[in-house]
Structure 1
Amino acid sequence: MRTSPKRAGESSPRSQDVNIKRVEQLVRELLVEIGEDPNREGLLKTPERVAEAYDYLTSGYRADLNEIVNGAVFESHANNMIISRDIELYSLCEHHILPFFGVCHIGYVAQEKVIGLSKLSRIVDFYARRLQIQERLTHEIAQEVMNVTSAEGVGVVIEARHMCMMMRGVEKQHSIMSTSSVLGSFLKDSATRSEFLNLIGRTPKFVQGL
């Protein structure tokens, strides 16, 4: 039985490996149910390709965050605000299993530790490569950065387009969803929040509630 995915602040075991052959069979069945012929030339390798794609797109369930971050947290006493802007983000909406994609901005005020810049992107991928909702994803990234760095405060903003809104439903192709999560000094101090938003090129009124 598949174990529960790890969430921010938890130490759950990794999920089992994907049964690729089983997923291929399920994709073949889906093709039949929607009226396609999985044996026609253009679809012969589709089940294999889809299975491999979903194995990759949900790899966050099976990754080990300790291995991802290991060796990349360093002592620092500078008390700087550190910003990583425009981190590309791709995930799957848990309601329709359709993609949502955009950018993630991360800021934190270091106290005693800083994390290697590339590891912030890895943390984003760790939580994005699974079935998600944007609101939870934003909070999980913020909480993980706080956990790893013991920062004075953390701010995360995600701006994303959702295919479930663009291809179906309301069909609003130009709609962008923005979410934020602020912890520690970013939550308590309006000046810190404003500095963060200005550094990522947003005004303090850009994110509702900040």
Structure 2
Amino acid sequence: MSHSQTENIQTSAAPVPGGPKLWLLRHGETEWSRSGQYTGLTDLPLTELGEEQARSARTTLAGVDFDLVLTSPLQRAQRTATLAGFPDAEVEPNAVEWDYGDYEGIDSAVVRAENPGYLIWDSGVPNGEMLEHIADRADQIVKRARAVERADGAQANVLVVAHGHFLRILTARWLGLDAGQGRHFILGTAKVCTLGWDKKTPAVEQWGL
């Protein structure tokens, strides 16, 4: 291989710079998450179990020095952030859940029974938010998280407390995948995940703790 060929490869394959670690926390259980109903912008509180789950997440996150903590504006996320030890989390409007339109409050099993071929990642939701728009919101958070730096040069930590579908899409975008690839990342209520780097490549470090 000639020097010019090597030079071209290096130029076209510029590495993605490593940077901060992004932690994800899904909110605790609500009545609708327990029943399987699509819960987008409906502002439901946590159940008693959901509050217990959120408190349990505090143990998982203990000892991590966070430089930035963001939360969805919806109460189920803000309450989870508070119970997990972050009462002063900054509200981030981009972190709200998917607007499910006509499917808001509908049991997902009912939707599939009526349309066996339905898959939200491919079919979207009638009169709801387009997947591309959610991806744009996720990209804004990825950009913001990656801009966080520590004065001492150590790796920064950013936490986002939000919702199941949104955090799955955020994960896909962190990895440089299409938003629809969020389908591969199942995330239970009040579970913690860590997104970081394999050297300079965005990677999943831990999932569903």
TM range (shorter): under 0.3
So what's the TM-score if we normalise by structure 1? 0.25
Structure holding more strand per residue: 1
Which structure is higher in RCO with an 8 Å CA cutoff and minimum separation 6? 2
Larger radius of gyration: 1
